[in-house]
Amino acid sequence: MIKKSLFILGLLLGNTGLQAIVAVGDTVGAPTTFQFSVGSAIFDASKQQLWTLSGEDISSFSSEIQSYGIAYTPFVSIDGSLNPKLTAYPYISAQAAITSTNEQGEFVAPTEFVPNPLLGKSFSAVTFVGSYLTVALAASPRYVYLIQSVFFNDGASLGKTSSEGLSVLNVLDLGVLEQVAYLAGSGLGVLFTAQTQGVFGTDASSIAFATTTTTNYAEINGQRSACVVLAQQAQEPITVSTPVLVAGGNNLSSIGSSVFISPLPLATTQMYVGLDVTANSGSNDQAVAFFIVDQQAPVNETPAAVVFSSVIPDVVAQQGLLTPISANASQRVVVSNITTTQTSTGLSYIITARSNNADQQFMYAMPMVTMATDSANNGKVGSFNSVEQVFEIKGSVYRAQGFSSVIDDANEIDIAGSATVVNRIRIGGGPVPLGAGQYIEQLQAQGDAVYITIHQDFSVGTTPGMFKSQALFDAQGRIMSWSPWQRVAGTDDQMLFAAKNRFTDATMYISGTDSKTVQQTTWNSTTVLTSFLADVTTALPFVKGGVQGIIPVSNETPDLSNFTLAIATGNQAVIVGQTGRVDTNGNLIIDNSENILVNADQNLNIGSVVTATFAHDSGTSNNWFFMGGDSGLAVLSNDTTGITFNGELTTLNQLTASGSSCKTLGNFKFIKKLVSSGSYLYILTTTGVYRIALVATKFKLTNPSDLNIQTVVKSSTIDKYASCLDMLIDNNLMLLGTTNGLYTVNLAGSLPASPVSIEIPGGLAAVSRLNTISSQANFNEAFYDRSNLYVLTVNYAVQQACLNRFTIHDGIVEPIQDQLLQGQNGPLLVFNFMSNNIFIDGSFGFATCYKIGNIPASIKYLESTLQAGRSSTQSLLDNHTANLSIAPVLNSLGIAGITRDYASGCLMLGADFGILTDSSN
């Protein structure tokens, strides 16, 4: 299996929706980028370019098409109004000048130009060595080719009209018997190779390293040129008795063919290695599939060497537990993907993909040592309780923290251990959405989020596309849990590889059954939700205020398990659109086949609608659809039965079936939010929170029973000038945001309740927005246990904003220690701009603001580099945010918010101009 590698070396948006544009490649006008299948890819984030390599022999194609066997596609503007053209550029010329070394290690200069040996070939491995793309061929894997330069005669850089030109290549010959199994390069010119003399693990196998030099010169094209040369330095065998694999036990039973190498973020010459190993059958035997490899340069009479070191002590592996990287007697462990991340709390983690080649695959996160007293321990698996903080101003960093000690107890990473341990190390809360024995294509991490791509087609237990899970933190900033896997990138297409732009959040990916197409998300008018967007534009036009609320509804909602929905609200109208459905295999697929409109035709008459929700009574399986606006509360229900529907919803048309209409309930004004919890509907207005028991007879057209509205809390009990702004409810716990701070309210006690104040360290007075992320399937609503709460506070008078965050465990709300200065807890972010709404998305999110005087409405992208200790002052924030200059936003008065559709994974931006999304076509 060819492995894909990820190298991590003012956004402008468009008009009325977001689609993925297809890159123009080897054939203009073709529906795909290439006429052949891509087999591997690599992303150079320093240049924002996705590199693709052919996965098949293409020698039968024209030379122009063959030149695209290696190609690069730069990110383009995501402003659809500019009609950006995504272009793949070829990188293989017709001829080459090849440098090499002989058996004595002497430089061999080229004497003539030869046909390029890369033209028309299939590639088996790719990496960057420094800035040089370096590859191996599937048909002749004994050779490694470093591409020093490429020049096309047509001057397009670019070879768009002809493949005629010259490449300068350096070839490293590994030897007659040797074959490349994997390539991994570093930024300082060191190349590590996994090599074999047949099948890796079964036949003679090793890890070797080579270095580059630029001290040799050759006459090329009439010019004396410095040549980059790879020279093999040393290699070390991989056998069933290799010490780092057996941890003091007997020889392994076997080593499989899978091998993966990934650079450490802390050292330019060290790499992580993941293997497929099976422990012997003895009761004291174990197998470790993950270790560190380093190169030792020659010194005087001491030759160069490859050095292996363990990431966990032998005594930890010998405890006989299953961990993300080890197994006990007769057990198999495959570590097939590796990456690392530094979270927004400043702590670093090793991320690995683990399987036993029989059951489903899991992703795991383990603490990574970064602040060890002995630097040799940096990069190893850390102890969960060894967090060290340093308060010292170094450049833009005021506080640093990291794990300081190597793990000494396997129970901390036991994949079958206590719920507390499993919750914090198992990403996504469960297996990846793949069937047993199947593997992800790619693993990457940005900040607090881990992303995977899946290429397999839909089947039982298997769902293609790109998925994300977000880290959730305890009060110390350590990972305590993960959000469920959720689709992102706005497509359910089969995906070989994807890259996220760290400065715009755009996604570029390789898609299709045969992986021939490169696409990038751009804000434009064509989307998988086209019919929904069209209906929204018609029903909620700009002249009437457009979209005032945008609400996603997951298929985890009671009696809505067949669908995912999106609700758009506005002036005297509500649109409910189906965005996805669950197929016969139990997979969630994109499907925007049905939308319904609720307006005056159904007697809706509550002014500008800003919120809506479905409510469910578990005792009767009755369900209702409620809407709230500035002029009141309404329910869409059957005139006779008083319910919207009973049991599982099978079609949206049930909501507006004959005999149903909207009824205005009570005398509410200025409703800001509706939440259904337990057997009650909770209504948030500026003056307080109220609730109505869900009883069908209350919602009939004629002779309805009394609403018996209960007052939960009045804003005047907080302060006579206070107003309520936002609320969240789960398990009888209410979080209430007001103009006078944040409060908890116990809904299980007597009413009206007495709100209990929660201090917001360094926060401002008014709580504008509450946002939770939790480990539950319906993770935007279920927050009572193992969740994080993000609190946006604002000062409207001086137009300032801050973002604080809290951890919630068993209903206890505690601030996360995001302090900038020692002993002074404070906000995670102090904005240098006004923001009245946020969307938190792991890496990291968005902040939005309405128009203020002559200052236009705005959207800021909060980059994944935001961290505690780096962003808690206005002067530091500019380095970690990007202004998204979206044409419709600049002309709008207000933004309803940003959320994510559950089915397609696209972002949905609601505003007075309608809805923008970032889905594919």
Residues 798-810 have a mean pLDDT of: 94
**What pLDDT shows up at residue 524?**
64
Q: Which two tokens stand for residue 186?
A: 């570093």
**What pLDDT shows up at residue 919?**
66
**What pLDDT shows up at residue 89?**
94
Q: In the predicted model, is pLDDT for residue 485 greater than 60?
A: yes
Residues 583-604 have a mean pLDDT of: 94
CA distance 324 to 334: 9
CA distance 808 to 74: 42
**What pLDDT shows up at residue 508?**
96
Relative to beta strand 5-7, strand 38-44 is: parallel
Q: In the predicted model, is pLDDT for residue 889 greater than 90?
A: no
**What pLDDT shows up at residue 876?**
67
pLDDT tens-digit readout, 176-219: 999 999 999 998 899 999 999 999 999 999 999 999 998 888 88
CA atoms within 13 A on the CB side of 220: 25
pLDDT over 90, % of the chain: 79
**What pLDDT shows up at residue 5?**
41
Provide the 8-state DSSP code for 836: S
**What pLDDT shows up at residue 823?**
79
Q: In the predicted model, is pLDDT for residue 158 greater than 90?
A: no
**What pLDDT shows up at residue 4?**
40
CA distance 61 to 73: 21
Beta bridge partner(s), residue 300: none
CA-angle at 290, arms to 288 and 296, nearest 5°:
120
**Confidence (pTM):** 0.95
Of the two residues 3 and 218, the one the predictor is more confident about is 218
Q: In the predicted model, is pLDDT for residue 18 greater than 50?
A: no
Which residue do the tokens 């509550």 mark? 606
Q: Which two tokens stand for residue 776?
A: 């539950």
CA distance 61 to 105: 37
* Cis amide leading into 755 (omega within 30): no
Sign of CA dihedral 588, 589, 594, 599: positive
Cα–Cα nearest to 623, from 570, 704, 559, 688 = 559
CA distance 337 to 114: 37
Residues 245-273 have a mean pLDDT of: 94
Q: Which two tokens stand for residue 786?
A: 């193992």
Q: In the predicted model, is pLDDT for residue 602 greater than 70?
A: yes
State the DSSP string of 31-86: SSS-SS-EEEEEEETTTTEEEEEESS--TTS-HHHHGGGEEEEE---BBGGG----
Residues 632-636 have a mean pLDDT of: 99
pLDDT over 70, % of the chain: 95
State the DSSP string of 599-655: SGGGT--SSBEEEEEEEEETTTTEEEEEEEETTEEEEEEETTT--SEESS---GGGT
391: Cβ contacts below 8 Å, ≥ 6 apart: 398, 399, 821, 822
CA distance 438 to 464: 12
Contacts of 197-204 with CB under 8 Å at 24 or more apart are 199/257, 200/238, 200/255, 200/257, 200/258, 200/259, 201/238, 201/254, 201/255, 201/256, 201/257, 201/258, 201/259, 201/275, 201/276, 202/254, 202/255, 202/257, 204/177, 204/237
CA distance 263 to 350: 11
**What pLDDT shows up at residue 10?**
27
Tell me the domain boundaries of the chain: 527-708
Contacts of 369-378 with CB under 8 Å at 24 or more apart are 369/402, 369/403, 369/404, 369/405, 369/406, 370/266, 370/402, 370/403, 371/400, 371/401, 371/402, 371/403, 371/404, 372/404, 372/405, 372/406, 373/404, 376/309, 377/405, 377/406, 378/266, 378/267
**What pLDDT shows up at residue 216?**
87
CA atoms within 13 A on the CB side of 178: 20
Residues 640-648 have a mean pLDDT of: 98
Across all residues in the chain, what is the average pLDDT? Answer: 92
**What pLDDT shows up at residue 871?**
64
Confidence class of residue 796 from pLDDT cuts 50, 70 and 90? confident
Confidence class of residue 890 from pLDDT cuts 50, 70 and 90? confident
Relative to beta strand 95-101, strand 165-173 is: parallel
The dihedral over CA atoms of 538, 540, 544, 546, expressed in degrees to the nearest 10, equals -120
Q: In the predicted model, is pLDDT for residue 86 greater than 90?
A: yes
**Least confident residue range of 180-184, 573-577, 640-644, 793-797:** 793-797
Cα–Cα nearest to 110, from 129, 95, 93 = 95
pLDDT tens-digit readout, 39-65: 999 999 899 999 999 999 999 999 999
Residues 892-908 have a mean pLDDT of: 92
CA distance 687 to 751: 16
Confidence class of residue 387 from pLDDT cuts 50, 70 and 90? very high
φ, ψ at 149 (rounded to 5°): -160, 155
pLDDT tens-digit readout, 527-567: 778 899 999 999 999 999 999 999 999 999 999 999 999 99
Max mean pLDDT among 74-83, 147-156, 627-636, 792-801 falls in 627-636
Of the two residues 232 and 16, the one the predictor is more confident about is 232
**What pLDDT shows up at residue 375?**
93
Residues 363-382 have a mean pLDDT of: 97
Confidence class of residue 629 from pLDDT cuts 50, 70 and 90? very high
What is the chain's length?
921
**What pLDDT shows up at residue 425?**
99
**Least confident residue range of 125-129, 292-296, 486-490, 855-859:** 855-859
Beta bridge partner(s), residue 815: 806
Q: Which two tokens stand for residue 155?
A: 């001057």
Confidence class of residue 781 from pLDDT cuts 50, 70 and 90? confident
Relative to beta strand 573-582, strand 563-570 is: antiparallel
Q: How far apart are the first and last CA of the chain?
A: 30
Confidence class of residue 842 from pLDDT cuts 50, 70 and 90? confident
CA distance 426 to 470: 11
**What pLDDT shows up at residue 156?**
53
Cα–Cα nearest to 570, from 593, 591, 549 = 549
Q: In the predicted model, is pLDDT for residue 15 greater than 50?
A: no
